[in-house]
């Protein structure tokens, strides 16, 4: 806010359009004298008497307190009129308040940030608010932040399509609702919808400006309203889908067909919160995906059509097909992977995951985000971690020399993949994966027959989950 007022001041100083006169309003003059007389602490004072500008701002705690006391004495923050000036607007947010008065001759702007002990008083000969608008119309980015009063979803008055700039989707839904929805819906989905619908509304708006009759104007407005309704309904629908989810999964955007990965709002495992965090979702330079049982089934179907797969997929029993074709509530073998694809992606991923590498594998009580080390392999080329939190399994493979990092997360109450085989029961029958000899590898299903060697360990059957690196060992 101080920056805004500073910008305002600089622009005021630059205009040179103000009449060169000293302050003549006696009350205002007295107020300025009191501000000047305050000797506590350090202050910055700047005056341009020729242009009629006076600025004072606090520099330390003492001056902040002294200036605040004068402001309070005049009850400026609650006044609707002072020194013959009308209160134009006042906002208070997160401990910061900005107030602007406008009179025929003078303008007064005050910004007060109690947290940073920053108080700035600007008095101008002329109309502060008028100048404020003139500046705003120049499109100054700083000034745009003032428009939060009117059309930013972060706060305040919601004004439908008639928002001042018409550039933001604030007209979609109420601001507060938007915030709460956004906490559940990934920002990417909101942006996707915005990019899809907003051009349509802008186009209608453009046509409305050139409308030649009231009927045409009404028709265009009705079309814009209709688009907004669809947009809003789609958001509500997506929100509902996400709300219904019990495990991470995909959501397909009806309008655009694009698929997004979403994490349930009330995930049972703390790992979901982390997965859903901004840091985790910043997967630039990385590949990131979640596969649900349904998707696994789809992969299975796809593979079936590949002639050179080498496996007799027809040998799958009906029961496993049934399993893959439907999600079993609470028992979804959801699989998430994240792997670096660039050096930058690798560095970011290493940074995100570093705490897992610090875990003391010998101490079973040593946990990070609830995870303890089940297995750790360190070689000259790579480090492999197998982590478990009582619900979710994480496998991390890090190759500093190859600048490659991969993390795989399998969700469900399983500690090992052999456990998974024992846990999953289909039609009352256990060990079905074992019977089917299935490996999930890099998100793909592959059948194996007989023994398989994974990282030096021989498994004779079962569900084996391998990272990209482990696949090479096979």
Partner 1 sequence: MKRKLFIMLTLMFTVLSTWATPPQQPHKSEAEKFVQNLAKIKSDEISYAYISANMFKQLFIKTDLDEEIQESISFIKSLKSLRRFFTNGKQGYDVMKAALQPLLQEKEEVLGMTLMASNRDGGGMVAIYSGLGNTLVVTDYGNNTTITVVFVAGLSYESFLEFNDLGINFY
List residues near partner 1 by CB under 8 A.
Answer: 78, 80, 86-95, 102, 129, 133, 137, 149-150, 155-162, 164, 166, 171, 174-177, 179-180, 208-209, 214, 217, 221, 225
The conformational region for residue 464 under phi > 0 = left, psi -120 to 50 = alpha, else beta, is beta
Q: Pick between residue 155 and residue 455 the one whose CB is nearest to partner 1.
A: 155
Q: From the CB of 95, what's the least distance to partner 1, in Å?
A: 5
Is 157 strand, coil or helix? coil
Q: Pick between residue 237 and residue 309 the one whose CB is nearest to partner 1.
A: 237
Q: Pick between residue 162 and residue 365 the one whose CB is nearest to partner 1.
A: 162
Q: Please tell me the distance from the alpha carbon of residue 252 to that of residue 294, in angstroms, as a whole number.
A: 14
Q: Pick between residue 242 and residue 290 the one whose CB is nearest to partner 1.
A: 242
Q: What angle do CA 85, 122, 3 make, to 5 degrees?
A: 130
Q: Pick between residue 89 and residue 368 the one whose CB is nearest to partner 1.
A: 89
Q: From the CB of 58, what's the least distance to partner 1, in Å?
A: 19
Q: Pick between residue 175 and residue 261 the one whose CB is nearest to partner 1.
A: 175
Determine the distance from the C-alpha atom of residue 160 to the mean position of all C-alpha atoms in its chain, rounded to a whole number: 23
Q: From the CB of 130, what's the least distance to partner 1, in Å?
A: 8
Name 451's Cβ contacts closer than 8 Å, sequence gap at least 6: 458, 459, 460
Q: From the CB of 398, what's the least distance to partner 1, in Å?
A: 39
Q: Pick between residue 31 and residue 158 the one whose CB is nearest to partner 1.
A: 158
Tell me how far apart the terminal alpha carbons of the chain are, to the nearest angstrom. Answer: 60
Q: From the CB of 377, what's the least distance to partner 1, in Å?
A: 46
Q: From the CB of 470, what's the least distance to partner 1, in Å?
A: 45
Q: Which residues of 57-67 are buried (b: 16+ CB within 10 A; e: fewer)?
A: bbeeebbbebb
Q: Please tell me the distance from the alpha carbon of residue 330 to that of residue 332, in angstroms, as a whole number.
A: 6
Q: Please tell me the distance from the alpha carbon of residue 201 to that of residue 166, in angstroms, as a whole number.
A: 9
Q: Please tell me the distance from the alpha carbon of residue 430 to that of residue 424, in angstroms, as a whole number.
A: 6
Phi and psi (nearest 5°) for 41? 70, 180
Q: From the CB of 71, what's the least distance to partner 1, in Å?
A: 14
- 8 A C-beta contact, residue 194 and residue 248: no
Q: From the CB of 454, what's the least distance to partner 1, in Å?
A: 47
Q: Pick between residue 130 and residue 252 the one whose CB is nearest to partner 1.
A: 130
Q: From the CB of 327, what's the least distance to partner 1, in Å?
A: 27
Q: Please give the DSSP secondary-structure letter assigned to residue 78.
A: G
Q: Residue for token digits 């509902």?
A: 240
Q: From the CB of 229, what's the least distance to partner 1, in Å?
A: 12
β-pair type (43-48, 53-58): antiparallel
Phi and psi (nearest 5°) for 21? -150, 150
Q: Where is 249: in which H helix or E strand?
A: strand 249-252
Q: Pick between residue 168 and residue 403 the one whose CB is nearest to partner 1.
A: 168
Q: Pick between residue 30 and residue 252 the one whose CB is nearest to partner 1.
A: 30
Name 398's Cβ contacts closer than 8 Å, sequence gap at least 6: 350, 353, 357, 382, 383, 384, 385, 404, 405
């Amino acid at each position: 806010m101080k920056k805004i007022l500073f910008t305002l001041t600089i622009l005021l100083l630059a205009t040179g359009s103000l009449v060169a006169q000293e302050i003549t309003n006696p009350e205002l003059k007295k107020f300025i004298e009191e501000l000047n007389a305050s000797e506590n602490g350090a202050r910055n004072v700047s005056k341009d008497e020729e242009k009629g500008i006076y600025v004072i701002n606090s520099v330390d705690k003492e001056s902040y307190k002294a200036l605040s006391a004068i402001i309070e004495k005049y009850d400026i923050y609650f006044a609707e009129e002072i020194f013959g000036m009308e209160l134009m607007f006042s906002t208070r947010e997160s401990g910061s308040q900005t107030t602007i008065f406008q009179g025929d001759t003078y303008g007064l702007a005050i910004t007060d940030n109690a947290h940073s002990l920053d108080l700035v008083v600007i008095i101008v000969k002329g109309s502060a608010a008028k100048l404020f608008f003139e500046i705003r119309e120049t499109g100054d980015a700083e000034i745009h932040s003032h428009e939060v009063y009117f059309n930013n979803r972060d706060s305040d008055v919601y004004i439908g399509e008639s928002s001042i700039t018409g550039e933001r989707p604030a007209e979609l839904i109420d601001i507060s609702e938007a915030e709460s929805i956004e906490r559940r819906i990934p920002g990417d989905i909101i942006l996707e919808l915005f990019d899809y619908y907003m051009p349509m509304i802008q186009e209608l708006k453009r046509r409305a400006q050139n409308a030649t009759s009231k009927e045409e104007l009404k028709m265009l407005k009705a079309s814009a309203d209709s688009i907004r309704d669809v947009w809003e309904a789609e958001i509500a629908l997506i929100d509902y889908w996400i709300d219904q989810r019990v495990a991470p999964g995909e959501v397909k955007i009806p309008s655009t067909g694009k698929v997004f990965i979403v994490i349930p709002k009330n995930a049972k495992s703390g790992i979901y919160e982390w997965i859903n965090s901004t840091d985790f979702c910043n997967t630039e330079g990385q590949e990131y995906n979640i596969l649900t049982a349904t998707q696994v089934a789809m992969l299975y179907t796809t593979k079936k059509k590949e002639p050179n797969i080498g496996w007799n997929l027809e040998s799958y029993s009906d029961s496993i097909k049934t399993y893959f074709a439907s999600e079993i509530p609470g028992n979804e073998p959801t699989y998430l992977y994240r792997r670096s694809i660039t050096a930058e992606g690798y560095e970011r991923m290493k940074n995100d995951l570093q705490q897992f590498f610090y875990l003391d594998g010998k101490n079973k009580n040593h946990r990070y985000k609830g995870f303890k080390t089940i297995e750790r392999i360190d070689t000259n080329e790579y480090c492999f971690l197998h982590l478990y939190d009582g619900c979710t399994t994480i496998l991390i493979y890090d190759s500093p020399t190859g600048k490659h990092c991969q993390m795989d997360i399998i969700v469900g109450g399983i500690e090992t993949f052999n456990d998974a085989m024992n846990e999953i029961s289909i039609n009352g029958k256990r060990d079905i994966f074992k019977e089917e000899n299935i490996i999930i590898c890099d998100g793909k299903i592959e059948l194996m027959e007989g023994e398989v060697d994974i990282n030096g360990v021989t498994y004779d059957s079962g569900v084996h989950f391998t990272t990209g690196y482990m696949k090479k060992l096979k």
